[in-house]
Homo-oligomer: A and B are copies of this chain.
C-alpha cells in the first residue's frame, strides 16, 4: 500500500504499549523529534527502544526515558545521555549494547530476511561474552541475530505522495535501515512532493517500506 498521511498525534494510534520501537538518528541529527514528542504525550509505556542513542538529557528519547516508559534500550552509544546510566544503575531499564556496525548490520538483516550473520567485530571482547563464536579461515567471528521492530519512527527529508523517501546529509544515518526492519514505518518528513518529482535514481527508500507520512 502507498503511504497514508496522518498528523503526529494520529500516527501514535498505531503504537501499542509493550511494542518494540526503532527510532532513527545519530545524536539528535535524523531523530524524528516531532514523532518522539507526540509519543511522549501519549500514555503508552513499556517499550523496548532500538536506537543508536537515547537522546540527550531531557531531549528526544531522553523525555521518554525520564517519564519511565522505556523498559529496555538496544543501541551503541548511550553515553550522550547520562540519565541512561542512572536509570540502568537504579535497575529501571535493561540495556543491550552493540558495536555500531553490528547494530547496523542487524537492522539490515532484520529487514532483509536474514536471521543471523557472523561478524569479526567484538570477537574476543567483553561484548561477545555469551555469544556464539566461530572460526572461518583462521579468524574468529561472532554470531549476531537480526533486529526487528513492531514500529519504526524515522526522519526523512522529502517524501513523494507514494512514500518514496530521500534524506538530508548526515541525517540519513540509521533511518533507511529501520524503515526496512519494522512491521510498520512512520516517517516524519520536511516536505511531501507529488509523485514523479523525485529522481527515481536517487530514491533511497522505495515506498513499499513506508506506511505513514507525517509532515514535521
Residues of chain A at the chain B interface (Cβ within 8 Å): 105, 109, 112-121, 136-137, 139, 141, 145, 166-169, 199, 201-202, 204
Residues of B contacting A169 with CB < 8 Å?
201
Residues of B contacting A166 with CB < 8 Å?
201
- A136 near B120 (CB under 8 angstroms)? no
What copy number does this chain have within its complex? Answer: 2
- B115 near A118 (CB under 8 angstroms)? yes
Residues of B contacting A141 with CB < 8 Å?
115-116
Q: A121 CA to B114 CA in the complex, in Å?
A: 10
Q: A114 CA to B114 CA in the complex, in Å?
A: 12
- B117 near A117 (CB under 8 angstroms)? yes
Residues of B contacting A199 with CB < 8 Å?
202
